Amino acid sequence: MVIASSIYLRYRIPAPELETLQTLSLRVRYEDGFVAFLNGQEIARRNAPETLQFDSTAVENRKLSASTYHEEINVSSFIATLNPH
């Protein structure tokens, strides 16, 4: 049996009024770890190895129950990287 240790997801997030955007948050639920990118730039990570590979795993295990709660991360410093096109 093969168990995937990594998953790659890509989402298109509509942001129709970028010029008025003042704050930006990433709201995420995760079991063990994650790394989030916005337009190719890393914006957040939790419990992930320093160097990422296609088969990277979390540095430590977390309780499954931890994945039922959202963590909200302020990523407002990355607003300038948003591209309206």
* Residue 32: predicted pLDDT: 87
Per-residue pLDDT of the chain (85 residues; tens, 9 = 90+): 556 677 788 888 776 677 788 899 999 998 888 999 988 899 999 999 999 888 888 888 888 888 889 999 999 999 888 866 5
Full-prediction pTM beyond 0.85?
Answer: no
* Residue 16: predicted pLDDT: 67
39 contact partners, CB below 8 Å, separation of at least 6 = 81, 82, 83
d(CA 26, CA 50): 20
